[in-house]
Every structure is written in structure tokens, then in C-alpha cells.
A and B are shown apart, each in its own frame.
Chain A
Amino acid sequence: MKIKVKIQTESFNIEQETNVLTSGLRNIGSVVTFTGLVRESEHFSADKNPKIISNLVLEHYAGMTEKLIYEMVEEASKRWDINSVSVVHRIGSLKPTDRIVFVGVASSHRLESFRAAEYIVDYLKVHATLWKKVVVNGIDEWVEPKHLDRSKFNKWSD
């Protein structure tokens, strides 16, 4: 099992990350990649209308985040027959349209890659020690966790 976990401030190149995912492996039949981007508008709990975001600021618990992501990848590899996983997550100040996260899974057959990629993204949302703050009209506020993310993740244990 090949695993890459990287938390970084700089952006990433999807083609390059995809190559890293499969390099040296000769029995890969499918690669599924997910890229998360910064949306420009966001709905906040009390407000009906979406707000326009100027920046998204991400922080994490260095050392802990990487450890938790490794653990979730290990868990995914127990559930599905996968050969390689890369998770690259950015921190720091980002702008709308910027890339935030890359998740890539490679396996012999497509089903495993699709399932494992979705599982890892769902897991990441509710377990990895990363926190987002949005800047709206010059005022920053912490993002509240979405119930939808929690319930989507819980479905994996059904």
C-alpha cells in the first residue's frame, strides 16, 4: 500500500499528484481523484441569503492531522482492495476558486477506487483536525460543522 499525506500552504498540480499516485505501480486499472475548491458564496445558519466570501483561512494541528489521515487511509485499505492513496490538504489563506484538497485513490478495478475515495473525503470532513474561518466583508468567523457531513459519514457504519 502506497500512501502520501501532505499538509501544505502552496497549491498542487492535479496531473502531477495523479502521476505520484501511480508511479512505480504496474497493476493499476483505475484512478479516482477528488479536488475540493473554495466556493465564493456560502449559506450561514441564520441567514437566508448566501454571503460572498473574500477569503477562507485554514489551520490544522500539525502532526495530529497527518496521523489521523494515515489512520483513515489504513481503515479504507481494510475495507477495499486499493493500492495507492494520496491526500494533499492546503492550509493558510485561500481565495474563491482556489484548490483546497486533493484525494486520489488507485486500484486494480474502478469500484474500489470510487468507494474508497468517497469514504476518505467523508472521513476527512468529520475527523481530520482542520478548521476553517471565512472572511466576509472584512470580518472573519469560524465555520460551523455541517450536520450533512456528519450524517453522510455515519452512513458508512450502517
Chain B
Amino acid sequence: MTPKNYFKILFFGRLRDFSENIKNEIPVSDEIKCVEDVILYLDTLNPHLGKELRKPFTLVSVNKNLVKTDFPIVGGEEVAFLPPVTGG
């Protein structure tokens, strides 16, 4: 379980190559109220990553449910960024 005062952030596939210096936990703050705010925060740390996260085919999930970027978060959630899948 992620502590309530943090968001757990996960990157998969090629997105991980852009996120090597990014910590997987972001502290809760007044600025982060939805997934879009997480993207904004990550964009300030690494604009290359920010650009990847904004690509139309990048999906995002909160607690393993696919959501839109305006999905509200309060703390303790697991937020995952998913590039186009290539299984099977």
C-alpha cells in the first residue's frame, strides 16, 4: 500500500526509458488534484517524459482502472502510465 501522503507512479515499456531519474513516489500537495496535475508535475521535472505522457495513445490507470486525465486523486493511489501495448 502506498502511504496516503504519496502517489505511487509507475511507467511501463518505452516510457520507463524517459523516466530513469524520476522517483516513483510523488508527495501529495495542493497542486495535485487529478492525473493531469501529475503529468504537469512530471513535465516540469523532465519535459521529454511530459511530451511522451501527452501522446494520444498513452493511457493512464489509477489503481489499475483505466481513467481519463481529469480523474481526481487524493493521495495513496497508484498512477500508471501505459504506452501502446504489444503483447500476444
List the interface of chain A (C-beta within 8 A of B): 36, 58-61, 63-65, 67, 89, 100-101, 121, 124-132, 142-145, 149
A60 and B87 within 8 A (CB): yes
Binds A, one of B25-33, B39-47, B67-75, B77-85: B77-85
Closest chain A residue to B10 by CB distance? A61
**Which residues of chain B come closer than 8 Å to A149, judged between CB atoms?**
88
A61 and B12 within 8 A (CB): yes
Q: Can you list 20 A-B pairs with a CB-CB distance of less than 8 A?
A: A59-B13, A60-B87, A61-B10, A64-B61, A64-B64, A65-B87, A101-B88, A121-B88, A124-B88, A125-B85, A127-B85, A128-B85, A129-B87, A130-B85, A130-B88, A131-B13, A142-B17, A142-B83, A143-B86, A145-B86
**Chain A proximity of B73: nearest CB distance (Å):** 17
A129 and B86 within 8 A (CB): no
How far does the alpha carbon of A43 sit from the alpha carbon of B61 in the complex, in Å? 31
Task: State the main secondary structure of chain A at its contact with B.
Answer: mixed
Q: Which of B84, B86, B87 contacts A101 (CB 8 A)?
A: B87
List the interface of chain B (C-beta within 8 A of A): 10, 12-14, 17, 57, 61, 64, 80, 82-88
**Chain A proximity of B59: nearest CB distance (Å):** 9
How far does the alpha carbon of A124 sit from the alpha carbon of B57 in the complex, in Å? 17
How far does the alpha carbon of A142 sit from the alpha carbon of B86 in the complex, in Å? 9
A129 and B82 within 8 A (CB): yes
How far does the alpha carbon of A142 sit from the alpha carbon of B14 in the complex, in Å? 6
Q: Which of A58, A63, A142, A144 contacts B87 (CB 8 A)?
A: A58
B10 and A130 within 8 A (CB): no
**Chain B proximity of A60: nearest CB distance (Å):** 7
**Which residues of chain A come closer than 8 Å to B85, judged between CB atoms?**
125-131, 145
